[in-house]
Amino acid sequence: MKTFRKLTALGIGLLAVQAACAAQEPARAKAAPSSAAAAAPRTIAPYFTPATPQPKAPDADGFLQRWMLLEPIAKPNRTNTVFTGTYVQSALNTEYFPDQFTILPHNGQKVTVASQELAWHALDSTAFDVKLFRFAYGLNKPTYGVLFWAVTVVNSPREMKNVRLAAGSNSASMWWLNGEDVADLFDDRRMVMDDVVSRRLTLKKGRNVLRGAVINGPGLSDFCVRFVDEDGNPVKDLTLSLP
Do 22 and 73 fall within a single domain?
A: no
Specify whether 109 is located in the same domain as 77. Answer: yes
Look at residue 79 and give its three-state secondary structure: coil
Residue 130, strand partner residues? 223
The CATH number for 145's domain is 2.60.120
The Cα–Cα gap between 42 and 49 comes to 14
Contact 146, 169 (CB under 8 A): no
pLDDT reported for residue 40: 76
How much is the average pLDDT of 116-142?
98
Give the confidence band of 206 by pLDDT, cuts at 50, 70, 90.
Answer: very high
Shared-domain flag, residues 80 and 153 = yes
Report the number of distinct structural domains present in the chain. 2
pLDDT of residue 64: 98
Domain that holds residue 24: 1-40
Which residues, including other chains, have CB under 8 Å from residue 234's CB and lie 6 or more apart?
A: 58, 61, 62, 63, 226, 227, 228
Strand partners, 227: 165
State residue 41's pLDDT score.
87
* pLDDT one-digit tens code per residue, 20-75: 444 443 333 334 445 665 667 899 999 999 999 999 999 999 999 999 999 999 99
Q: Do 35 and 54 fall into the same domain?
A: no
| Co-location of 120 and 198 in the same domain | yes
88 and 155 both lie in a single domain:
yes
Co-location of 125 and 6 in the same domain: no
Domain match, 146 and 202 both:
yes
Over the stretch 150-193, which tens digit does the pLDDT of each residue have? 999 999 999 999 999 999 999 999 999 999 999 999 999 999 99
- Whether residues 205 and 100 fall in one domain: yes
Same domain, 34 and 52: no
Give yes or no: residues 147 and 180 share one domain.
yes
| 147 and 169 co-located in one domain | yes
